[in-house]
A and B are shown apart, each in its own frame.
Chain A
Amino acid sequence: MAVSTDAQATEQARPRTGNELLIVEDLKKHFPVTRGIIFQKEIASVKAVDGVSFSVREGETLGVVGESGCGKSTMARCVMRLLEPTGGQIIFDGRDITKLSRAAMRPIRREMMMIFQDPYASLNPRKRVGFIVAEALEVHKMGTDAETKRRVQELLEVVGLNPEHYNRFPHEFSGGQRQRIGVARALAVNPKLIVCDEPVSALDVSVQAQILNLLKDLQRDFGLTYVFIAHDLNVVRHISDRVMVMYLGQVSELADRVTLYREPKHPYTGALLSAVPIPDPVKGRERKPVVLEGDVPSPLNPPSACRFHPRCPRFREGHCDVEEPPLYPMGDGHLAKCHYPLEHWPLTEEEFRQPGRQAVAT
C-alpha cells in the first residue's frame, strides 16, 4: 500500500524532466539472518534498505544524510551494484542495470565511480600511487602505457598533488592527500556519476574544506554528478543541490537544499537540524535542541507503521503507530513522510510537541 502511494507521490511531485542520470525505484536490500549449519533456515532479515526511490539529474549533487545505521551506505553500494539489491529498479543513463550480468555491467562501471570514507583503508598499501590511479584505465583498456602514465600525472595535478609523486606508496601521504588520491582514482575513467560515501568524515576541518572545494571545482570543470553521503548536516548543505534524509532504511524527507534547511517538514529532520552545534557563542547558546529520546531502533525488527514513531516528539497514538505515512508532496518537489509535518521553522519546543493542524488528508 505504502509502496504504491509512495511511487505515486513521487511521480506527482517530480515530473521527469528527461535529464535524470540515475533513477532508483523502490530499492530494497534485505540481509538474511540464518540459523543452522547444514540446513540453513532464514529466520529473519535485516531490512537495511526498504523501499527507497529517488532520482539524480545530470550535473547535480544529491546529498544523503542520516544517523549511522540508517542504510545510506548500503543504498550506495546497491546503486553501484556492489551489492545485489533484493528488490527494486536502478536505471542509470536510461538503462535498467538492476539485473545486468557482471560482464554486461563492466562497460557501465566506468561511468560510475565511488570515493570511500576511509582514505587509510581504501588504498592498497602495497601498490604505488601511479598503479592505484591507473588500475581502472588498464581494466577498461583505455590507452597505451605511455598514455596511461601521462593521464595519471595529469590527474594527480588536477587533484592538487605533485605529479612526481607517481611512484610513492600511500603511507607516504597524509589523510587529506590520500583522499585526493581516491578522488583521482575515481576521475581516471571520466565517469558521469561519482558516489561519495562519507568522503570527508575522517578528515580535520581545514583538510575537509580543501577536499570539499576540490569536489566542487571538479564538478564545475567536468560536469560531474554526485551522490554525496555524509552524516554532517553542515557539509551536506554546503555541497548539495538537493538533500535526502534517511531513517531506518527509508526516505523520510527529500527537498532542494534551501527548502530543506529553511523549512524542514519531517520532525526527524527538525530534530537533526536543531541538534547541530552552531560555532557562535551567542547564537549557539540560544539554540534549544529538540533532544530525541533513545537510539535508532534495530532494522531487524523495525517499529510498525511510521518507523520514527517511538522517538518522535509529535507521536499520535492510534495513528502514527497504525498507519504508515506515505511520502506526502509538500509542493515544489518537497516530499516528507509524516502525518503531522512541521508547520513552520524554527519551532518552539511546545509547538514541536503539539502538532497544530490536522493531519494531512490522505
Chain B
Amino acid sequence: MALLDVRDLKTYFKTDDGIVKAVDGVTFSIEKGRTLGIVGESGSGKSVTCLTIMGLNAKRNTITTGEALFKEQDLLGMGMRRLRQIRGNDIAMIFQDPMTSLNPVHKIGNQLTEAVLLHQDVTKKQARARALELLKAVGIPRAERRVDDYPHQFSGGMRQRVMIAMALINDPDLLIADEPTTALDVTTQAQILNLMNKLQEEFGSAIIIITHDLGVVAETADDVLVMYAAEVVEQGPVNQIFSRPHMPYTWGLLGSLPRLDAETERLVQITGQPPSLLRPPSGCRFHPRCPYVMDVCKQTDPPLKPVTGDIDHYAACHLDEETKDREATKLLAGMVAEARTG
C-alpha cells in the first residue's frame, strides 16, 4: 500500500465567469522514501493539486472530488480536527516564497516551537531544544543566537532553510515542496537541494517536489508527473521520462531548455500560450499548440496509456508508438550530437 494514493482528483473553482477546472482527474501514488517530481507550466494545476491534498483551498466556491488516501485514510473527506492533527505532523509543506510564508512579527524560534507544541506532548523547553536542533540540521550558522531573530533578519536562502526546518520538525512521513528553490540563486539552490536529499536519507520521508525546472527534477526525483492544463499528460520513472519521452508536450519542455551540456543554435519552442482552464480546448488539451496534431486529437481526449516496453510509464497521446519513439530519439539524438560538437 502506497503512502499516499491520489485517485481521480478534481478541483473546480466557481468564479463569476464560470467554473475553472484547475485540477481535472489526477491520479498518482507515492511510496515511503521516494521522491515524486511534478512539472508543468504555470497554471497547469501543480500547486492546486498539492493544496487540495493538504486541504488548504478555501472551502467557499471550491468543488473537490476524488480520493487522496494517506495511510489508507481519505484526506478529502476528513474532518477539520483530524486533518489538523495530520497537517504539519505527518504531512508537511514547504512553500515557494520564503519571503512571505513566515510570520514577520514573530521570532523564528517561537514559530518553530509552536509547530512542536501543537503536535507533541512536550514542555516548552523541550520544544525549544528541538527547534534549535533542526536549525542546526538545516545549516543555520550560530543557531543559538539566530533562534531569537525575526524573519527579516535572514536572507532568502536562510529563510528557506527555516521553512524546511519548520516542515521537518515533527519528522513528517510526507513532505510537499512547492517550488522550494525557484526564488533562489543557483548556489543557494544547490545548498537547499543537497540538504533535502540528506534529510530524506536520514528520515526516510517521501517528497513531492513541484517545479518547472527540469534540471531539478532530473537530479532529485525518482518518478515524474508531467501536467498540462489541469491534467496529467505523462508519468513514469525519471530515467524513462528523460530517455524515452512519449508526449509532444514533454518534448517541447525538454527542447525549449537552454542547457549547459548541449549547444543549441535555436531552441525548440512551444508556440502559443497555455489555454484558459475556463474553456479548455476540446479533445486533447494540447492540440492547439501541438505540431503533430491530427483530426482525432481535436475530438477525443486521449487516455493515459501504458508505454509498451516500459514499466510504470504512461502517456496521453494519440500518436502511434513508432512515430513517438522516432521523434523522441530524434530530439534526444540532436541534443547529444550538439553536446559533442559544443
The interface of chain A, by Cβ under 8 A from chain B, is: 67-68, 174, 176-177, 204-210, 212-213, 216, 231-235, 237-239, 261, 271-285, 287, 289, 291-292, 294-295
- Is B253 within 8 A of A238, CB to CB? no
- Say yes or no for B264: interface residue by CB 8 A criterion: yes
26 contacts between A and B (CB under 8 A): A67-B186, A67-B187, A205-B41, A206-B41, A210-B270, A213-B266, A213-B267, A231-B186, A234-B260, A235-B258, A237-B258, A277-B193, A278-B218, A278-B219, A279-B214, A279-B242, A279-B257, A280-B218, A281-B219, A281-B242, A282-B239, A284-B219, A285-B219, A289-B194, A295-B157, A295-B158
- Is A278 within 8 A of B260, CB to CB? yes
Q: How far is the CA of A117 from the CA of B24 in the complex (A)?
A: 33
- Is A275 within 8 A of B187, CB to CB? yes
Q: How far is the CA of A206 from the CA of B40 in the complex (A)?
A: 10
Q: Kindly list chain B residues whose C-beta atoms are within 8 Å of the C-beta of A283.
A: 261
Instruction: Look across to chain A and name the residue whose beta carbon is closest to the beta carbon of B188.
Output: A295
With A204-B212, A213-B269, A295-B158 known to touch, is A238 a contact of B185 (CB < 8 Å)? no
Instruction: Look across to chain B and name the residue whose beta carbon is closest to the beta carbon of A234.
Output: B258
Q: Kindly list chain A residues whose C-beta atoms are within 8 Å of the C-beta of B273.
A: 174, 176-177, 207
Q: Kindly list chain A residues whose C-beta atoms are within 8 Å of the C-beta of B215.
A: 276-279, 284
For residue B56, give the distance in angstroms from its CB to the closest CB of chain A.
23
Q: Kindly list chain B residues whose C-beta atoms are within 8 Å of the C-beta of A238.
A: 258, 264, 267
- Is A209 within 8 A of B259, CB to CB? no
For residue A84, give the distance in angstroms from its CB to the closest CB of chain B.
28
- Is B213 within 8 A of A277, CB to CB? yes
- Say yes or no for B252: interface residue by CB 8 A criterion: yes
With contacts defined as CB atoms under 8 Å apart, how many contacts are there between chain A and chain B in the complex? 124
- Say yes or no for B108: interface residue by CB 8 A criterion: no
- Say yes or no for B123: interface residue by CB 8 A criterion: no
Instruction: Look across to chain B and name the residue whose beta carbon is closest to the beta carbon of A283.
Output: B261
- Say yes or no for B323: interface residue by CB 8 A criterion: no
Report, nearest first, the 10 A-B pairs whose CB atoms are least far apart.
A277-B215, A209-B256, A238-B258, A275-B190, A209-B267, A206-B270, A279-B214, A284-B219, A67-B185, A234-B258
Q: Kindly list chain A residues whose C-beta atoms are within 8 Å of the C-beta of B253.
A: 205-206
Known pairs A277-B215, A277-B219; list 12 more (Cβ under 8 Å): A68-B185, A205-B41, A205-B257, A207-B273, A210-B270, A276-B215, A277-B189, A280-B218, A281-B239, A283-B261, A285-B219, A289-B190
Instruction: Look across to chain A and name the residue whose beta carbon is closest to the beta carbon of B268.
Output: A209
- Say yes or no for B300: interface residue by CB 8 A criterion: no
For residue B261, give the distance in angstroms from its CB to the closest CB of chain A.
5
Q: How far is the CA of A199 from the CA of B253 in the complex (A)?
A: 19
Q: How far is the CA of A162 from the CA of B334 in the complex (A)?
A: 33
Instruction: Look across to chain A and name the residue whose beta carbon is closest to the beta carbon of B238.
Output: A281
Q: How far is the CA of A284 from the CA of B158 in the complex (A)?
A: 25
Of the candidates B215, B219, B270, the one having the most CB atoms from chain A within 10 angstroms of its own CB is B219
For residue B295, give the distance in angstroms from its CB to the closest CB of chain A.
25
Q: Kindly list chain A residues whose C-beta atoms are within 8 Å of the C-beta of B41.
A: 204-207
Q: How far is the CA of A205 from the CA of B217 in the complex (A)?
A: 14
For residue B242, give the distance in angstroms from its CB to the closest CB of chain A.
5
Instruction: Look across to chain A and name the residue whose beta carbon is closest to the beta carbon of B214.
Output: A279
- Is A234 within 8 A of B257, CB to CB? yes
B191-202 contact mask (Cβ, 8 Å, vs A): 1 or 0: 101100000000
Q: Kindly list chain A residues whose C-beta atoms are within 8 Å of the C-beta of B155.
A: 295
- Is B186 within 8 A of A276, CB to CB? yes
For residue B228, give the distance in angstroms from its CB to the closest CB of chain A.
10
For residue B147, give the distance in angstroms from its CB to the closest CB of chain A.
18
B260 partner, pick from A209, A210, A233, beta carbons under 8 A = A233
Q: How far is the CA of A232 from the CA of B213 in the complex (A)?
A: 11
- Say yes or no for B216: interface residue by CB 8 A criterion: yes
Q: Kindly list chain A residues whose C-beta atoms are within 8 Å of the C-beta of B261.
A: 278, 280, 283
- Is A275 within 8 A of B218, CB to CB? no
- Say yes or no for B85: interface residue by CB 8 A criterion: no
Of the candidates A177, A205, A231, A273, the one having the most CB atoms from chain B within 10 angstroms of its own CB is A205
Q: Kindly list chain A residues whose C-beta atoms are within 8 Å of the C-beta of B329.
A: none
Instruction: Look across to chain A and name the residue whose beta carbon is closest to the beta carbon of B342.
Output: A258
With A276-B215, A279-B218, A280-B242 known to touch, is A234 a contact of B259 (CB < 8 Å)? yes
Q: Kindly list chain B residues whose C-beta atoms are within 8 Å of the C-beta of A216.
A: 266
Q: Kindly list chain B residues whose C-beta atoms are within 8 Å of the C-beta of A206.
A: 41, 252-253, 256, 269-270
With A208-B256, A281-B242 known to touch, is A275 a contact of B266 (CB < 8 Å)? no
Q: Kindly list chain A residues whose C-beta atoms are within 8 Å of the C-beta of B271.
A: 210
Instruction: Look across to chain A and name the residue whose beta carbon is closest to the beta carbon of B158.
Output: A295
Q: Kindly list chain A residues whose C-beta atoms are within 8 Å of the C-beta of B186.
A: 67, 231-233, 272, 275-276
Q: Kindly list chain B residues whose C-beta atoms are within 8 Å of the C-beta of A68.
A: 156, 185
- Say yes or no for B141: interface residue by CB 8 A criterion: yes
- Is B42 within 8 A of A277, CB to CB? no
- Say yes or no for B167: interface residue by CB 8 A criterion: no
B174-194 contact mask (Cβ, 8 Å, vs A): 1 or 0: 000000000001111111011
- Say yes or no for B254: interface residue by CB 8 A criterion: yes
Tell me the chain B residues, 203-247 only, with Cβ under 8 Å from chain A.
212-219, 238-239, 242-243
With A206-B252, A212-B258, A231-B186 known to touch, is A291 a contact of B194 (CB < 8 Å)? yes
Q: How far is the CA of A139 from the CA of B193 in the complex (A)?
A: 49
Q: Kindly list chain A residues whose C-beta atoms are within 8 Å of the C-beta of B267.
A: 209, 212-213, 238
Q: Kindly list chain B residues whose C-beta atoms are within 8 Å of the C-beta of A67.
A: 185-188
Of the candidates A67, A273, A280, the one having the most CB atoms from chain B within 10 angstroms of its own CB is A280
